[in-house]
Amino acid sequence: MDFLEHLKSSLPEKEAYQLYESFDYDDSHAVLLNTNKISDEKFISLFPNVKPHPYVPHAYIYDKNEYPLGKSVYHELGYFYLQEPSAMIVSGLINFKNNDLVLDMCAAPGGKSVQASLKMKGNGLIISNDLSTSRAKLISNNSERLGLRNLLITNNDFSKIYDFYLNTFDVIILDAPCSGSGMFRKNELMKEDWSINKVYKFSEIQKELISIAYKMLKPGGLLSYSTCSYSKEENEDVISYLLENSDAQVRDINLKDGYVNELSPIGIRLMPSHFFGEGQYICHISKPGNSEETKFKNSNRSERLVSSYATYDVKRFGESLFAISNIIDIKKLNVIRYGVKIGEEHKGIFKYDLHYARSLTIKDEFPRVELNEEELRLYLEGNQLTKESKNKGYVLLTYHNNSIDIAKTDGRVIKNYYPKGLRRKFI
């Protein structure tokens, strides 16, 4: 069975042809603002031709030929996260509470966790997990660049440990691995690799994952299931399987008229023939009952950190120190990053990490040196700076009051501590 025939098996013929033809449209690009570092007004003043995302606050559609944001110095400073327009709707639809315990099961490269963290204003705790170690490290890189504080990044197969987390999470995001047909417009290789057998294979994986996720969901909690596939077998059929084998209930998802295909009997489908983003299926599941607000364990006070970190738990992994505000039992978790990496201590010498620097805000009491644009660019390229400062020792370098890095100065010269792998010129 070819892909068009497969589409016609679950969509009216006219819809199937319209969707198939939409693969020839130009793809769209979106950006989610890190509101800890930049306001909507400032972003629009820098990039005036962007358009607001119709569903997601603080998100914009842009033309990458006009604004190559991924190469921008503002991207490097963590002012925003680049994400596909339909994919960002997944977390955009969830009403997170500040004290939620969230599990993002298949999180890499981390967009949904990033958005959850920003919506939760750094509160609660998000376990941002991926089965692949290399992909989990992508989440870690993004958390560092954006200065996020409440991500516990892990690399686990939850099919082996879910028994330890039954009825635990307030919100579970399951953006399940899939056949990838929703990305045909962006990736020609996905189109060439598609087969009906691939659909059937992923459908079985998805049924196992959603069953596991539901068991870990608290009564009264929300399970968000999504794929970037157009196949009914990977979407509605997976939800039907869960409904038939549990007490799960489907929650309605309401979006504005005009963009969302209403043909799906369970959940919603976003398709480029109706919406400018790529293909995305989303369904919200709830578990009957009510549960108390998550109560995290108390954190230990640390004198090493600045004021806003005073109640964070500090944990040592080898020579590295990490800090997180809310604690859960991590014995079964393979931890990649325990909240914020503070730095490394080697033979009595302590060096602060970029993640810690990026997490600091104007409210944090730390000696500062403000850089101008020329000095910023020189520093990001790897140069030391000649700059008078009343402060000596470790200082937080800032640009427009936003943190860049923690470096060392003797009051006249600032040594460059920017990670060598990140040093380059930016537009």
Residue whose structure tokens are 């679950």 = 10
pLDDT digits (tens, 9 = 90+) for 108-119: 999 999 999 999
pLDDT of residue 300: 62
Q: Which residue has the higher pLDDT, 72 or 346?
A: 72
The model's pLDDT over 29-40, given as tens digits with 9 standing for 90+, comes to: 999 999 999 999
Neighbouring CB atoms inside 10 A of 171's CB total 24
The predicted structure's pLDDT at residue 294: 84
pLDDT band, residue 307 (cuts 50/70/90): confident
Whether residue 301 is predicted with pLDDT greater than 90 in this model: the reply is no
What is the pLDDT, as a whole number, of residue 375? 97
Residue 90: its pLDDT value, please?
97
pLDDT of residue 298: 66
Integer Cα distance of 114 and 98 in angstroms: 14
Is the backbone of residue 180 left (phi > 0), alpha (psi -120 to 50) or beta? left
What pTM was computed for the model? 0.95
Q: Which CATH number describes the domain made up of 366-427? A: 2.30.130.60
Whether 286 contacts 223, CB under 8 Å:
yes
294-321 average pLDDT score? 78
Kind of pairing, strands 368-370 and 340-346?
Answer: unpaired
Contacts of 28 (CB under 8 A, 6+ apart): 61, 84, 85, 276, 277, 278
pLDDT digits (tens, 9 = 90+) for 184-236: 988 888 888 899 999 999 999 999 999 999 999 999 999 999 999 999 999 99
Pull the structure tokens for residue 19. 């969707």
State how far the Cα of 250 lies from the Cα of 327, in Å rounded to an integer.
31
Q: Average pLDDT, stretch 52-64?
A: 96
Q: Does the 3-286 domain belong in CATH 3.40.50.150?
A: yes
Residue with tokens 């000596």: 392
The whole-angstrom separation of Cα 322 and Cα 359 is: 12
Q: Chain-centre distance of CA 368, in angstroms?
A: 29
**For 104, what's the count of Cα atoms within 13 Å in the CB-facing half-sphere?**
28
**Closest by Cα among 223, 280, 227 to 246:** 223
Return the domain boundaries, the chain.
3-286, 366-427
Identity (one letter) of the amino acid at 409? T
Instruction: Name the CA dihedral angle for 365, 369, 371, 377, rounded to a multiple of 10 degrees.
Output: -90
The pLDDT of residue 232 is 95
Contact between 165 and 333 (Cβ < 8 Å): no
- What pLDDT score does 162 carry? 96
Angle among Cα 118, 124, 127 to the nearest 5 degrees reads 85
Q: Return all residues near 65 (Cβ < 8 A) that are at least 6 apart.
A: none
Record the tokens describing residue 257, joined without a space. Answer: 């008229």
Q: Where do we find the tokens 């449209």?
A: 25
Q: Using H for helix, E for strand and C for coil, what is the string for the chain?
A: CCHHHHHHCCCCHHHHHHHHHHCCCCCCEEEEECCCCCCHHHHHHHCCCCEECCCCCCEEEECCCCCCHHHCHHHHCCCEEEECCCCHHHHHCCCCCCCCEEEECCCCCCHHHHHHHHHCCCCCEEEEECCCHHHHHHHHHHHHHHCCCCEEEECCCCCCCHHHHCCCEEEEEEECCCCCHHHCCCCHHHHHHCCHHHHHHHHHHHHHHHHHHHHHEEEEEEEEEEECCCCHHHCHHHHHHHHHCCCCEEECCCCCCCCCECCCCCCEEECCCCCCCCCEEEEEEECCCCCCCCCCECCCCCCCCCHHHCCCEEEEECCEEEEECCECCCCCCCEEEECEEEEEEECCEEEECHHHHHHCCCCCCCCEEECCHHHHHHHHCCCCEECCCCCCEEEEEEECCEEEEEEEECCCEECCCCCHHHCCCCC
Residue 228 annotated in active site: yes
Calculate ∠ Cα 134-137-143, nearest 5°.
Answer: 160
pLDDT band at 254; cut points 50, 70, 90: confident
| Predicted confidence (pLDDT) per residue in 270-295, tens digit | 999 999 899 999 999 999 998 778 87
- Given the structure tokens 């680049």, which residue do they identify? 82
Assigned token pair, 81: 């996260």
Structure tokens at 308: 């806003």
Minimum mean pLDDT range among 48-62, 83-97, 186-200, 387-401: 186-200
